[in-house]
Copies of this chain bind each other. A is one copy, B any other.
Amino acid sequence: MSVLSLLQESLGALVDVSEASLEQARADRSGHSAAGRPIAVVHAERIEHVQETMRIATATRTPVVVRGAGTGLAGAANAGTGEIALSLRRMTAIHEVRQDDLLAVVEPGILNADLNAELAQHGLWWAPDPASRDISTVGGNIATGAGGLLCAKYGVVRDAVLGVDLVLADGRLLHLGHRSVKGVTGLDLTALVVGSEGTLGVVVGATLKLRRLVPGATCTITATFPGVRGAAAAAAAVTAAGVQPAIMELMDAASLAAVHALLALPSPTPGAAQLTIQTDGPAAGIEAETIAAILRAHDGITTVTHDREEGERLLAIRRSMHAAMASLGTTLIEDVSVPRSAMPAMFDEIARIESEYGLAIPTVAHAGDGNLHPNFVFEGSETPAHVWAAADELFRAAIRLGGTLTGEHGIGVLKRRWLADELGEDQWHLQRQIARVFDPLGILNPGKVFSPDA
């Protein structure tokens, strides 16, 4: 019997072979699509559906690509010819919210924003805050080890997951992690699963570490600088001064211009770069004044507002970056991360690469944590060779500066050819062997993260 027939026999109407669904499963938001269409999209509604799918996949040695909302930026969830696309988007239950233990137990398909809307009713939040939070799932956030705007102060996804329930390639269900604040029983497989991009198993449930909503005011500071290097140096100076903003976002001139155009705002000063900074918590006002003084000392034209709505309006400019880039063409969004002190040097490297390759590379940065998103915009669906060559220079510069290929988007298919450059051959092989312990047949997201020909 064919794989499709086996799936249909077991899972009936959960098996979707409509042209629209198969086509949609080929791509995420990376600008990259899988070759061909998958065999089917399975819309799992319960853990048993995931287990059954994996048992069939193992029996028939069929590759499985797990998908959430398909908002990834590295191609890790793209499913193509000969593969089963396993969607968890319908598994949206919140099983438990505990104010006393500051945890929630949820299914993976719930959107980050939907979860946080519910948690807010309890005075709680889950800190991971990717720019995609309105459209990306908790399971996707876990699979990629997502970051966002708040990481320097409030941590990354790995810091916010206590445990995961994982279905292995052969359909067995494991419960990893614990519900307590502390726990060192055996190896920390929960942390290993965070960011593993569907190569170790299927995350079918998660115990999330929550925070209480931060009381008090929010202050928002904007500062404009003559150039991007000045803005980067000012941001590094804020960190070095020992103030901890909740958010510190940098936009270069090209990014600002594109977003202002998209939102029909007045054009910004040509060449100018901007920092948008938010402070929160009991010392928000004092911290905002300290930060404003540092920015002014770095020649930033600086304003401070204590109005929360005005703050959100200012941040909306940053949050519109992805849409602004998409309006210009196909975008390859890069994601290098460097030590904070190296940010000005990284912007120098970007300027050098722009000049050498004759490209504009609009760049935004989570400047509080040194995570830069240089954007390559081009025509058509294939990334041109000279763009890849420029990206290659970018990656090597980041690694040279003590940084990493990807701060929060993951490796997927787009960066797998550079993985061994950063890890070294020995570590690459070790990681690959570890993945094989979870997935001996190599049916979980094959060709993602670990390039088959590396």
Which A residues lie at the B interface, using CB under 8 A? Answer: 98-103, 123, 144-145, 147, 151-152, 155-156, 158-159, 168, 172, 174-176, 178-189, 191-192, 194-196, 200, 212, 236, 239-240, 242, 244, 282-283, 286, 337-341, 366, 368-371, 402-411, 415, 419, 422-424, 426-428, 430-431, 433-435, 437-438, 449
Instruction: Report the separation of the CA atoms of residues A101 and B345 in the bound assembly, to the nearest whole angstrom.
Output: 14
Flag if B236 contacts A411 (CB, 8 Å): no
Tell me how far the C-beta of A28 lies from the nearest C-beta in chain B, rounded to whole angstroms.
16
With a 10 A CB-CB cut-off, give which of A180, A186, A402 has the most chain B CB atoms: A186
Flag if B340 contacts A101 (CB, 8 Å): yes
A339 is contacted by which of B98, B144, B155, B337 (Cβ under 8 Å)?
B98
Given A174-B430, A180-B403, A145 and B188 touching (CB < 8 A)? yes
CB-defined contacts of A340 to chain B, threshold 8 Å: 100-102, 181
Which 5 residue pairs spanning A and B have beta carbons closest together? A191-B191, A182-B407, A181-B369, A145-B184, A183-B404
CB-defined contacts of A407 to chain B, threshold 8 Å: 180-184
Instruction: Report the separation of the CA atoms of residues A31 and B402 in the bound assembly, to the nearest whole angstrom.
Output: 43
Tell me how far the C-beta of A394 lies from the nearest C-beta in chain B, rounded to whole angstroms.
14
Instruction: Report the separation of the CA atoms of residues A192 and B410 in the bound assembly, to the nearest whole angstrom.
Output: 18
Flag if A195 contacts B188 (CB, 8 Å): yes
Tell me how far the C-beta of A201 lies from the nearest C-beta in chain B, rounded to whole angstroms.
10
What are 6 A-B pairs at a CB distance below 8 A?
A102-B340, A123-B242, A180-B402, A182-B369, A183-B407, A186-B422
A186 is contacted by which of B102, B371, B402, B449 (Cβ under 8 Å)?
B449
A341 is contacted by which of B101, B191, B404, B411 (Cβ under 8 Å)?
B101
Given A100-B236, A430-B174, A186 and B423 touching (CB < 8 A)? yes
CB-defined contacts of A422 to chain B, threshold 8 Å: 185-186
Instruction: Report the separation of the CA atoms of residues A188 and B244 in the bound assembly, to the nearest whole angstrom.
Output: 26
A212 nearest CB neighbor, chain B only:
B242
Flag if A182 contacts B371 (CB, 8 Å): yes
Flag if B184 contacts A144 (CB, 8 Å): yes
